């Protein structure tokens, strides 16, 4: 059993609250990603689980055992940091075995664990090399191997791919996903990169202002964001936001945009001023006249798709999606169709309400 339970945990540095009453259950074997901007508290929360930061209030349970007062070495977790922190004079084998030698583990058991970890990470041929003879991705795998040999209840990753170049980051991300599938271990992973979160996580925990903003599967937080913050933070490019006046009765409503165009939608909200949110892929370029038009400002040609950055008549900015072979050029007038099933309205408190 390697579940992790946080119950109303808080943390302050001086008079500044950096974690504010967070509760979270991570079931055994789950891959959970802490996602949020810099300063949201995600790394601090991970370090509180690891024991590198104290928990001022609340409780932590790891594998059914109260752990908030235990030293880091007694919590049965292994942490992988952004920096590899490998010993340059040691071989890969010795780097991976170093922690086990320090606790005087039997030599035969150390050798077995190192060999097993090397096999899992496909590093058998690298065991006798030194860090200077390895690529950045290989060094990060050694750091992960150093965690694996401890056979912990849970793995904690603190932005482990940030020092890698883009192509290597993609490859290592796939390797991490495969590693989790093979080991079925509990893993908590901190990142500010939403692509990493979307592709790795069973569940994403989105943090903002030292609190949890939303917890859900990658597609849950993408398709049904709980707040304007989540809607704007998750997705690349980000969600479009336009001021809208809502009118109508019951679920048959009409949102009037600033340029006067109207969008019919099914949503049960009182009339008033809202912010309408819609993702670029739900704003399609139309070849026939449509109720909403805009003028193309910038056209991004990405090969398989084209992103058209537009301005509506009232100056509102909008990003729409067109095919990879789009003929639109800067300055063109563009007709737009909205997928009304993918519309969201955000009230004055930033709470999301989803169209049907």
What domains can be seen in the chain, in order of their start residue?
Answer: 4-227 (3.40.50.300), 240-354 (2.40.50.140)
Between helix 166-183 and helix 107-120 the angle, nearest 10°, is: 120
Which DSSP category does 238 fall into? P
Which segments of 22-165 does DSSP mark as H helices, in order?
42-50, 92-102, 107-120, 136-148
Give me the average pLDDT of each 10-residue run along the chain (356 residues).
Answer: 91 93 96 94 95 95 94 90 86 92 89 90 90 88 89 90 81 86 91 92 95 96 96 92 89 88 89 95 87 92 94 92 92 92 94 92
pTM for the full predicted model: 0.90
Between helix 107-120 and helix 92-102 the angle, nearest 10°, is: 130
CA atoms within 13 A on the CB side of 326: 26
Model pLDDT, residue 200 = 94
Model pLDDT, residue 291 = 77
Which DSSP category does 75 fall into? S
Q: Helix or strand or coil: residue 81? A: coil
Model pLDDT, residue 1 = 58
Q: How far is CA 2 from the centre of its chain?
A: 22
CB under 8 A, 24+ apart: contacts of 254-258: 255/343, 255/345, 257/292, 257/312, 257/314, 257/316, 258/312, 258/314, 258/315, 258/316
Residue 178 tokens read as 């495969």
Unique residue bearing structure tokens 């679920």: 251
Mind listing the pLDDT tens digit for each residue in 209-247? Answer: 989 999 999 999 999 999 999 999 999 888 999 999 999
- Cα torsion angle, 241, 247, 253, 258, sign: negative
Model pLDDT, residue 161 = 84
């Amino acid at each position: 059993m390697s579940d992790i339970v946080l119950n109303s945990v808080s943390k302050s540095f001086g008079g500044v609250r950096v974690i504010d009453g967070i509760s979270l259950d991570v079931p055994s074997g789950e891959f959970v990603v802490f996602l949020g901007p810099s300063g949201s508290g995600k790394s601090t929360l991970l370090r509180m689980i690891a024991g590198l930061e104290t928990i001022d209030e609340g409780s932590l349970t790891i594998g059914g055992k109260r752990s908030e007062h235990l030293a880091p070495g007694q919590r049965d977790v292994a942490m992988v940091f952004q920096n590899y922190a490998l010993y340059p004079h040691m071989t890969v084998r010795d780097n991976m075995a170093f922690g086990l030698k320090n606790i005087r583990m039997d030599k035969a058991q150390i050798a077995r664990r190192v060999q097993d970890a090397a096999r899992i990470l496909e590093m058998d041929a690298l065991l006798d090399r030194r860090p200077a003879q390895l690529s950045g991705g290989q060094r990060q795998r050694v750091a992960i191997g150093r965690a694996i040999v401890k056979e912990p209840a849970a793995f904690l990753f603190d932005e482990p791919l940030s020092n890698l170049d883009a192509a290597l980051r993609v490859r290592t991300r796939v390797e991490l996903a495969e590693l989790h599938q093979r080991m079925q271990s509990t893993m908590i992973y901190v990142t500010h990169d939403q692509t990493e979160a979307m592709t790795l996580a069973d569940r994403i925990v989105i943090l903002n202002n030292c609190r949890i903003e939303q917890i859900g599967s990658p597609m849950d937080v993408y398709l049904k964001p709980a707040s304007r913050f989540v809607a704007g933070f998750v997705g690349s490019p980000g969600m479009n936001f336009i001021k809208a006046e809502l009118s109508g009765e019951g679920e048959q409503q009409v949102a009037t945009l600033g340029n006067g165009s109207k969008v019919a939608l099914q949503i049960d909200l009182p009339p008033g001023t809202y912010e309408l949110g819609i993702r670029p892929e739900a704003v399609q370029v139309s070849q026939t006249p449509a109720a909403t038009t805009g003028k193309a400002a910038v056209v991004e040609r990405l090969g398989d798709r084209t992103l058209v950055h537009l301005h509506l008549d009232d100056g509102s900015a909008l990003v729409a999606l067109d095919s990879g072979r789009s003929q639109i050029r800067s300055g063109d007038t563009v007709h737009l169709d909205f997928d009304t099933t993918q519309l969201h309205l955000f009230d004055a408190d930033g709470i999301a309400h989803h169209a049907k």
